Every structure is written in C-alpha cells, then in structure tokens.
Structure 1
Amino acid sequence: MTIQSNNNVVGTHQLPDLVCLSHLRWNFVFQRPQHLLSRFARERRVFFYEEPIFGQNSRPRLHVTRSPEGVWVAVPHLPEGLDAERLVALQQEMLDELLLEHAVRHYVSWYYTPMALPFTRHLQPRAVAYDCMDELSAFRGAPPALLRYEIELLQRAHVVFTGGQSLYEAKRDRHHSVHAFPSSVDVAHFATARGTLREPPDQASIPHPRLGFFGVVDERMDLALLEAVAEARPDWQLVIIGPVVKIDPAALPRRPNLHFLGGKLYTELPAYLASWDVALLPFARNESTRFISPTKTPEYLAAGKPVVSTSIRDVVRPYGELGLVRIADTPEDFVRACEAALAEDRAAWLPRVDEYLAEMSWDNTWSGMKALLDAASMRREVGERPESAATPVDMATI
C-alpha cells in the first residue's frame, strides 16, 4: 500500500488539526462540508478522508491532494471484493499512515458519517464532533448498520451539530450537547445573479420563462411533479442543473421544455440563476426528505429569485411562514404558485428577503460551531490534566 501526495508535509499549528471522516466527495458538490472546512483550513490543518473508490484489480493506495481551499483530501483506492474485516483493516492502516506522514498528533475528529467508526475507534482525538447534516439512514441504499453505528457515534461525540431544525428536534434527546446549525449562504456570491452576467452557452438558447433548480438529482426529487408541471405549462422552460445520483438517468422525464444540463461548478451557479424567472424546490415528500434543510433556499433568495417549494418542514419554517417562499404540493397548486411567483412584485418582496438574509452567513455558522468545538476540546484538555490549576471557563463567552 502506498500514499500518493502532491505536497510536502506542512508544519504544526497551535490549534489542533481537524480530521474529517466523510461519505461525500470533496470535489462532488460544493456544499455544507466545503463551506465549513474551508474556513477551518484558514486557521489549522484540515484532513478530509473520503469513502473508498473500488476498482477491479486495483492495488490499495491512498491518493492525497491539497484543494485550492487548503484542505488535504485523502481518497482510498481499494480492490473490489474485500471482506468486511479486510476493508476495515486497510482503511485504518491508510488513515494511520496519513496521520503519521503529516505528523498529526493533536487533532479533533469531525464526522459526517457514522460508517467511519469501524476504522477510527482507535483514534485518540482531543474532541469528537458529529455534524449530522442529513438523516442518512433514510436515504436509498443506506447500509443496515448505519443506525447502530450512529448510536455509538453519539456516545463518543462531545458535541453534535444538525443541519436543520427538524433534524435537531429528532436528535436533541439523544445527546447532551446537540446544536441546530441550519446551512447558511454566501450572500455576496449569489447576489451577483441580480446583476448582468454572461449567459452560459448551454442555457442561452432556452426561451423564457425559465423555472430552474440546482442540486443533486436523486430520489429526493419529485420527478412526477416536475413532469406534471412541464406538461401543464408547455410554454414554461424547466432548467435542471446537477448530477444524477442513485437513480437511473433513463427514469428522468423527457419533454421538450425539460432541460437537464448536468452538474456545474459552484462558481458557475450565479450565471445560471441570473436569467431564471423562478427558482424551484420540487422535493418529494418521503422519508429521505423528512429532515432535509435545503441550502439552496437562501441561495435562491440571495440571487433575488422568487421561490416555489413543496412542503418541506425546514422550508415551511421559517421561509414559508414569513412569506418569503411559496409552498405547494399538488401539480395544480404548484403551477398556481409558480404563476404567482412569475407575477411577484419584487420591489416590495426583496427588502424583506434582504432583511432576513442579513443575519445569515457561513462565517457566522462556522464561528458558532468552532466555538462549541474549541470549548469541548478545552474541557477535555483540562479534564485530562487534573493537576493543573486552570481557571474556570465561562463557555458562554468563548
């Protein structure tokens, strides 16, 4: 087994390093983990350890690169057909070699997936954080062992974050330190869509009105609703941006006014949004969407676009209740809501949007999470050295 790295070892920092265990790919969709960990990387070393990529006759190796944001991204490459015991052993060996090569001695562990526990139980971090951004057990293809490992992770974690209010309500009685941190927004980035941006070539020929969605296209999208809207209003153009995951692309509805443009870079999204007339959240209402808190809701609003969503709880509360997003579920109601959105008086609506978004930023979200993580790490450090005459710390001031 080898570790392939394209950079030299970076020197140690005063703050503990952060070792993240993730089920998501760093280079997949720029979302919550990327926003948060990029900010951590400005002050400390961050290592992002992904799930393995399996290949036929692939020799075990760990491919390590450094992202433009300064995050060390480690991707295990493993042969297919490994039994569970060998799979755990190889991942543990790769992770240990990564930490040894980069002289990672003082660190905190940051989990996005409980499925990393079998090969990380031996670690001795200063603190453990579990950023529960989704109810993964409700997703299609979720491993049967996930719920069992989550119970163990909640026992090991010193602080737990949730990606939305509904998820917080589901987890708050399962741990002594659970905190709701709904995903935030880079207002300045998406506000550029309110200006004049160059039209992306693959969207330029699509007529108006344009109703758009960006995000992952998977079992959470209500494809029947999407098709019904396209059929009811053939003069509307529905633009869908994002990778198709866990569903057969052949199952996507095909109509002349439905345009699936594939995945785009985070930096490209404002240019697509700029010429949309309405932004959509056509989520199915099922177990996989019960606890989601779509990041794209405030992103659409920051772009100045009227939004129509199905009745996802974390969209209804607060966006629907505040009159910032229209909520509809049936195809007939969804079409009517889109018609109202197209006729929106934005001069009266946008100031209310901007007032709400003024308190939101990834910097604020990260700062709050960092304070709780650092406090947990400090408590652990003081607790492990009872001989020290440490001054009591008021955690509310950290």
Structure 2
Amino acid sequence: MIKGKDIIVVGIQAWDIEIGSNCKNIALEFSKNNRVIYVNPPMVRSVMKKQKHKNTIQKRIRIKNGQEDSLVEIGSNLWNLYPKTLIESINWIPIHRLFKILNKKNAIGYANDIKVATSALDFKDFILFNDSSMFLGLHLKALLQPETYAYYMRDYLVKVAYWRKHGERIEPQVVKKADVVLTNSAFFEEFCKQYNPHSYMVGQGCDVSLFNDEDDAIKIPEEFKEIPSPVLGYVGSLTTLRLDIELLTFVAEQKKDWSIVLVGPEDKDFKNSNLHNLSNVYFLGRKDASELPNYVKGFDLTTNPQLKNNLTIGNYPRKIDEYLAMGKPILATNTKAMEMFKEHVYLADTKEEYVTLITKAMAENTTDRIKSRIEYAKSHTWTNNVKMIYSSIIKATKHRK
C-alpha cells in the first residue's frame, strides 16, 4: 500500500471524456490515500480551431484566456488540471528529426503547466503515472523529475494508424526510461520486458456492481419474448476491427437451433454483412450502459468472438468481467490476454471449436460454476487493481532504499 504520497496522473484521456476510462478509475483509487492531480491532455491548436463550437473546447479556451481556473478541485485529495499551453499537431510529420524537435517543444510547454500546478499545491517527491501518453511522455521524466516514473500500457496503440508512424519507435524508449511499467495483460508484460525488466502485469479493475443480480432484481427485456431459446449473446460495439463476422456466420449456420443476439452499435461492414440475412441472428441495436445487465441476463451463453490481430491480442475485454459477474457461461476467442480467464471461460482457437464448446459450456453450467464465476469477477475491483499497482511500484523501486 502507498499512502500519504503526491501522485500526478497524465494520459491521453481528459477527465471530462464521455466514455469510461481506466485512468480515471485508477486516479479515484489513488486519491483515497494520496493527493492526486489528474492532468488533461494539452489542447492541440488545430483541434481548437476546428472544434471551437464544442462545449469542451469552449471551456478550454476560457481557461486559456484566464476566465476560469485551470486547476479545479473535483474530490477529496483530487484535482483536475486543464493545461493552458497549446501544442502543435505534429504526428503527420514524416521526418523523424523534425518530429523529435517539435515533440520536445510540446512536452516543455505541457510540463511547465504541470509545474505551476505542483507548486500551487506544494506537491513534493511525487509519483508520475503516465497512461499511454508516449509522445509527451518521452520527456516528462527529465522535465518533471518525479521520485518515480510509472508507465501504464493497456492497449496496443502502436498498431493503430495514428500512433504507428512515430509510436513504434518512441514507445519502447518511454518503456525503457520508466522506473516501473504496468500492464493489464500478460502479452503487454512480455512486450515491455524486452525493454524494461521492471514490467509487471497488474490486471484491470472493473465496476461490476451494475451486474450484481444476486437478489434476482434485474429484469429481462421484453424483446426476448420474441426470440427463441437458447440464446448466445454479445454486448458491445460491433466493429470489424475486433470482431469476427465469418466466425459468427459459421456459428449461426451450424447452430440453427440457437438464437444469436447482438447488442450494440454496428460499423458499416456489420450493417452490410450476411448476418442480417440469417433468420436466427438478431440485432438489437445500441443500448444505454445501464440497460446492458438486463440484456446479459437474457443470454443463456455469452460470447466475445474476437478476431486475432494486433488490436485484440493483448486486449483486456472488460465485458468478460461483466459476463462473469452475472454468473454466465462464456465462450471466447483464445488470445494471450484471455489466458488469465481460462479457469472460468471456454476458449476456442477455431470456428469449429466454437461450435463444439457451445454444447460443452451448457452441459457444465452447474450452480457451483456460476458461483465461482461471480466470485472471480468480484475480485477484479479497482481497489484490488490499484493494490497491484502499488505492489509493483514498491517492488520496482525497493533497491533505492
């Protein structure tokens, strides 16, 4: 446990982001026993001009002009910093040497804003926790001189087009500079250990309270009355970057006695897929996050039919914890990141295995297995996740004493 410390959290997601954020959950846990400044990413000049009509950008413009405070207390021991400095859009620059010069200039402006905030709150001997901000993060250790610099890797960002051009070169450098590297999957731990021996898999937290149905209070939606049982279901974005349409089609055609229910927004390829022509496949569309437990309850068997690619190989799918929290049997693609769930999830390497495991999963769905899944999901709290982070930081820095 780390208590009574000052912690600065930087990353690629602002506090006012509209979607859930690992980094925000971690910062909230940090603040239970430590003082924390959560630093928003700096505003990019070109984005400010293009999106100046947005409320979030308008707020940043007011802060830049001194009309609102840049450092806001948002909870006990927790402050949110809106950097005033504008940075330039440079990721498109093909010349590495020029990118390097401009990236450092961006980082200096960002670091200066952080220094003003740390001075105002008298932060000393702080831990700098960097959630995947690899470009600016390359220089923050030298510019801010933290007591400990922790880099958090939870996505294979360098395989995404935006980050790939410079990220494949820079992220290993950031990993190497860090005092400790924290990851949410065994795949990322192995990747980072190539560059830093102090790399540790700390898992991931998940707020599964919404999916707690031990009092049987969650109601199955009316839509299920028109859907024949048994039901194999998925909740989440239906995107062909991550999900296997061919696999879903094969399962639907082989298991015609099953209904395949897909809950979530579709990308273009899903909308145009042959799945819409299969009589036992049901698309229920986007649902509010608060409704998802109701839909999961309507499934007899849950699934995460991922493709195996650079985006998914190390991905920690939060939905697995949500499925487990409701005690549901789960059938998923076997990836490195899924190995930690192998005692509670049926993992398939082929589409034929998917079909075989559907029968096996239902035959073995005992009361004891249901209870075991629920208990395992409960262990994946943000509190436990942060305890692992603390333990790893202490382990990596104990040689200093």
Q: TM-score range by the shorter chain?
A: 0.7 to 0.9
Contact in 1 for aligned 2:263/2:287 (Cα 8 Å): no
Give, in whole Å, the separation in 2 of the partners of 1:78 and 1:152.
25
Q: How does 1:91-106 map to 2 (within 5 A)?
A: 92-93=108-109, 96-97=112-113, 99-101=115-117, 103=120, 105-106=123-124
Of residues 12, 30, 42, the one that matches 1:22 is 12
Q: CA RMSD in A?
A: 4.0
After superposition, where does 1:62-73 map in structure 2 within 5 Å?
72=80
SS of residue in 1 equivalent to 2:163? coil
C-alpha distance in 2, partners of 1:193/1:357? 13
1:221 partner SS: coil
Find the counterpart in structure 1 of residue 261 from structure 2. Answer: 238
Contact 1:55 1:79 in 2 (8 A): no
Structure 1 portions without partners, runs of 5+: 1-12, 384-391, 393-398
Match of 2:212 in 1: 191
Query: 1:31, 1:186 → 2: CA distance?
Result: 11
Distance of 2:42 and 2:269 partners within structure 1: 22
Q: Distance in 2 between matches of 1:165 and 1:199?
A: 35
The CA deviation at 1:325 is 1.6
Aligned residues: 363
Deviation at 1:208, TM superposition (A): 4.6
Q: Could you tell me how far 1:353 is from its partner in structure 2?
A: 2.7
Match of 1:275 in 2: 298
Tell me the SS of whatever aligns to 1:288. Answer: coil
Query: CA–CA distance in 1 between the matches of 2:196 and 2:227?
Result: 50
- 2:148 aligns with 127
Aligned twin of 2:67: none
Could you give the per-residue CA deviations for residues 298-344 of structure 1, whole angstroms, max 9, x where no partner exists?
A: 331121111001121232x2433x3x222224444323433443455
Q: Would the alpha carbon gap of residues 375 and 232 (structure 1) be closer, same or farther in structure 2, given more than 3 Å must change?
A: closer
What is the aligned counterpart of 2:129 among 106, 110, 121? 110
TM-score w.r.t. length of structure 1: 0.73
Whole-Å Cα distance in 2 between the matches of residues 180 and 291 of structure 1? Answer: 11
Please tell me whether the aligned partners of residues 14 and 39 of structure 2 are also in contact (alpha carbons under 8 angstroms): no
Amino acid at match of 2:168: L
Which residue in 1 is equivalent to 2:315? 292
For residue 182 of structure 2, give the secondary structure of its aligned residue in structure 1.
Answer: strand
Question: Which stretch of the first structure deviates more once superposed, 128-137 or 33-42?
Answer: 33-42
Q: Taking structure 2 as the reference length, what is the TM-score of the superposition?
A: 0.73
Which residue of the other structure, out of 49, 57, 63, is the alignment partner of 2:40?
49
Deviations 1:343-369 (A, max 9, x none): 553324224435645654331221121
In the superposition, relative to structure 1, how do residues 14 and 354 fare at CA in structure 2: closer, same or farther (>3 Å)?
closer
**CA displacement, residues 148-180 of structure 1 (integer Å, 9 cap, x when unaligned):** 211221232111111112222232242131111
Give the SS at the match of 2:328: coil
Check conservation: 1:22, 1:48, Cα contact below 8 A.
Answer: no
Which AA in structure 2 matches 1:125?
P
Query: Which deviates more from structure 2 when the two are superposed, residues 185-194 or residues 357-366?
Result: 185-194
Secondary structure in 2 matching 1:239: strand
Cα deviation, residue 21, structure 1: 1.7
Tell me which residue corresponds to 1:7: none
Distance in 2 (alpha carbons) for counterparts of 1:233 and 1:77: 57
Q: Which has the higher helix share?
A: 2
In 2, Cα distance between the equivalents of 1:18 and 1:202? 46
How far 1:240 moved relative to its partner? 2.8
Aligned to 1:225: 247
Aligned counterpart, 2:29 = 39
Aligned to 1:155: 176
Matches within 5 A, 1:1-398: 14-22=4-12, 27-43=17-33, 44-50=35-41, 52=43, 54-57=47-50, 61=60, 72=80, 74=82, 89=105, 92-93=108-109, 96-97=112-113, 99-101=115-117, 103=120, 105-106=123-124, 107-113=126-132, 114-117=134-137, 120=140, 122-186=143-207, 188-192=209-213, 195-199=216-220, 208-218=229-239, 219-233=241-255, 236-241=259-264, 255=276, 257-259=281-283, 261-262=285-286, 264-265=288-289, 267-315=290-338, 317-320=339-342, 322=343, 324-354=344-374, 356-357=376-377, 359-373=379-393, 392=401
Deviation at 1:216, TM superposition (A): 4.6
Flag structure 2 segments of 5+ consecutive residues without an equivalent: 64-69, 94-98
Give the whole-Å Cα distance in 2 for the aligned partners of 1:142 and 1:284. 21
Letter in 2 for 1:280: T
